[in-house]
Chains A and B, each alone.
With several copies, the nearest count.
Chain A
Amino acid sequence: MAVRVQREDFDVGAALAELTDGRRDIGGVASFVGLVRDVSGDAQVRSMTLEHYPGMTESMLARIEAEAKARWPLDGTLIIHRYGRLEPGERIVLVATASAHRRHALEACEFLIDWLKTKAPFWKLEDTGDGERWVAAKASDDDAAARWQAGASDDRAAE
């Protein structure tokens, strides 16, 4: 288990390798990388600046990881989240899970990114060229997180 909150970019291959190096019992590694898009609604995005709550960010991410480990039998998890100014095409976040079985890795990966979106104290400021604006939270992100609220992985049937 590892959580990193950093300004610098990260190496996806190296990060994923951390989960499996020296291991022979892992059947699969699922991952998701989120990137800055050049459009937001109908506006062009020049850059995005991520603000966060130092201290609480790390503890919330660790808690989200612990929740994933409590729900699925995972051999490893990794969350890396950047802050500061980013340009379109740049990586924002990586979540990754390793497990003996692919279903557990895939479900837990989806859970991590869904929960992180609504439970980690980050805020995005977009520079659209027409000025800056704070990104509004999306109802669809709340819905995605709520799918996992009931607890067990089997509860996805209710989605």
Chain B
Amino acid sequence: MRILYFAWLRQRTGTGEETIEPPPEVRDVAGLIEWLKGRGPGHAEALRDISAIRVAINQEFAGMDSAVAPGDEVALFPPMTGG
């Protein structure tokens, strides 16, 4: 599974992209984020406030209860501020 981080999530985790293999009990976005927090203090800090995080799975917006699967591209980012 490929995880992408943007904006302050990228800065706080210290990475823009990582490839991971979460255990099979990680089935949805909320579970994935919880598991990612264990990857280090930067991740724990970046992912602390789940209400500030938006998600896309395979470049489609998704919710915290959306299912994730091996091979997915999961992007985590704050609310968008383009335009």
Chain A positions within 8 Å of B, measured between CB atoms, are 34, 50-53, 55-56, 59, 81, 92-93, 102, 113, 116-125, 134-137, 141
Contacts and interface: CB of A to CB of B under 8 A. Distances in A.
A135 B81 contact: yes
Contact of B83 (A53, A59, A93): A93
A141 B6 CA distance: 20
Provide the main secondary structure of the chain B interface. loop
A28 B80 CA distance: 19
Interface of B: 4, 6-8, 10, 56, 59, 75, 77-83
A92 B83 contact: yes
Contact of A121 (B8, B10, B77): B77
Contacts of B80: 117-123, 137
Chain A binding site: helix, strand, loop or mixed by DSSP?
Answer: mixed
Contacts of B81: 117, 122-124, 134-137
5 contacts: A50-B82, A56-B75, A93-B82, A121-B77, A134-B8
Contacts of B6: 51, 53, 121, 123
A102 B82 CA distance: 13
Q: Which of A102, A119, A123 has the most CB of B within 10 A?
A: A123
Contacts of A116: 82-83
A113 B83 contact: yes
B10 to A, nearest CB: 8
Contacts of A136: 79, 81
A16 to B, nearest CB: 18
A50 B83 CA distance: 10
A51 B83 contact: no
A122 to B, nearest CB: 3
B72 to A, nearest CB: 13
A116 B81 CA distance: 9
